[in-house]
Chains A and B, each alone.
Chain A
Amino acid sequence: MDPEIVLCADRIVTRYGGIEALHGVSLSVRRGQVVALLGANGAGKSTMLRTLSGLITASLGSVHFLGEDITRVPAHRLPHRGLVHVPEGRRIFGDMTIKENLDLGSFTLADDAERRRRLDHVFELFPILARRHNGDARNLSGGEQQMLAIGRALMAAPKVLLLDEPSMGLAPQLIREVMNIVQRLNREGVTILLVEQNSKVALKFADYGYVLKAGRIVLEGNGGDLASNDAVISAYLGGAAV
Chain B
Amino acid sequence: MTLDLVIQQLVNGLIVGSFYALIALGYSMVFGVIKLLNFAHGDIYMSGAFVGLIVFSFVGIWVGNGWLGVVCALLVSMLAVGLLGVVIERFAYRPMRSAPRLSILITALGASMVLNGAALALTGGRHFAFNTDLGFAGVDISAVHITYTQMVLVAASILLMAGMQAFVSRTMYGKAMRAVSIDMGASRLMGIDVDRVIALTFFMGSALAAGGGVMAGAYYGSVHFFMGFIMGLKAFTAAVIGGIGSVPGAMLGGLLLGLLEAYGSSLPFVGSEWRDVFVFGALILFLVFKPTGILGRSIVERV
Interface residues of A (CB under 8 A from B): 53, 55, 74-80, 84-85, 87, 89, 91-96, 100, 103-105, 107-108, 138, 152, 156
Contacts and interface: CB of A to CB of B under 8 A. Distances in A.
Contact of B192 (A55, A94, A107): A107
B185 A104 contact: no
B191 A76 contact: yes
B178 A96 contact: yes
Place the interface of chain B in its size category.
20 to 34
A95 B189 contact: no
Interface of B: 172, 175-176, 178-179, 182-183, 185-194, 297, 302-303
The majority secondary structure among interface residues of chain B is helix
Contact of A107 (B178, B183, B190, B303): B190
Most buried by A among B172, B175, B189, B297: B189
Given A93-B179, A95-B182, A105 B190 contact: yes
B182 A96 contact: yes
B178 A76 contact: no
Contacts of A79: 189-191
A78 B187 CA distance: 12
B179 A96 contact: yes
Given A93-B178, A95-B297, A103 B189 contact: no
Contacts of A105: 190
A106 to B, nearest CB: 8
A94 B179 CA distance: 9
Contact of A75 (B175, B176, B178, B188): B188
A42 B10 CA distance: 61
A100 B178 CA distance: 10
B247 to A, nearest CB: 12
A156 B303 contact: no
Contacts of B175: 96, 100, 103-104
Contact of B303 (A80, A89, A95, A104): A89
A213 B29 CA distance: 43
Nearest to B302: A94
A29 B210 CA distance: 53
A74 B187 CA distance: 12
